[in-house]
Amino acid sequence: MTSLTSVLSSHPMTKGLFITLEGNEGSGKSTQIAKLSAALSAQGKAVTVLREPGSTVVGTKIREILKDPANSICSETELFLFQASRAQLVHDVIRPKLAAGEIIIADRFYDSTWVYQGWARGVNLLAIEFTNKLATVGVEVNKTFFIKVPLEVCTARIKSRGTLDRFELEGQKLLAKIDEGYNELSKSFPHRVDVVDGNRDIETVHQELLAKTMRLINQ
């Protein structure tokens, strides 16, 4: 009988370029993704911007459930909901776009699950790894930019938001754990994960991300 592990790794994606931005709450990822995709589009590149959870009809509904502070959700349910959203996104958008040789920029992907549900919530890391594989069916991220900002900057940016979601409401303790998790992640995958100092002006951070992305495109 074919083992599940071999089934899960039997569809590697080789075309296209898959970039993710990761970071704590209020790290400025969304601003940077908007600027990066605009700069690449202006150069005639086919770019798709996605966010997780979300970016499909089902994923958007799952996003609402996950972010709603009225919902009490245990860590394992959280894991399955994120993976459900991811599986749909990989199936509907990511695999076809990468197969067509396009560029995808995602606001969070499987590293968020490792950091939030694994490192911060304490869900078994083998379960994280296994479900990440199941949801992504061989799709791998080519480059991850971890936008690192000091915790006090995250806190200030979160406070300036009108309404807070279920994660933002958890406050300082979760932020510190998430920062710790991303530091561990970047040490574990030094070739894939680039730590980018997000505590600089928007344009300076953008120029660094654009230069690094252009190098990936041209290599």
Which parts of this chain interact with ligand TMP (CB under 6 A)? 25, 51-53, 82, 107-108, 112-113, 116-117, 167
Between 136 and 213, name the residue whose CB sits nearer to ligand TMP: 136
Between 146 and 167, name the residue whose CB sits nearer to ligand TMP: 167
Q: Cβ of residue 167: shortest distance to ligand TMP, in angstroms?
A: 3
Between 16 and 28, name the residue whose CB sits nearer to ligand TMP: 28
Q: Return the number of other C-beta atoms located less than 10 Å from residue 138's C-beta.
A: 14
Q: Cβ of residue 190: shortest distance to ligand TMP, in angstroms?
A: 22
Q: Cβ of residue 27: shortest distance to ligand TMP, in angstroms?
A: 9
Between 176 and 214, name the residue whose CB sits nearer to ligand TMP: 176
Between 16 and 23, name the residue whose CB sits nearer to ligand TMP: 23
Q: Rounded distance, CA 83 to CA 94, Å?
A: 14
Q: Cβ of residue 86: shortest distance to ligand TMP, in angstroms?
A: 7
Q: Cβ of residue 52: shortest distance to ligand TMP, in angstroms?
A: 4
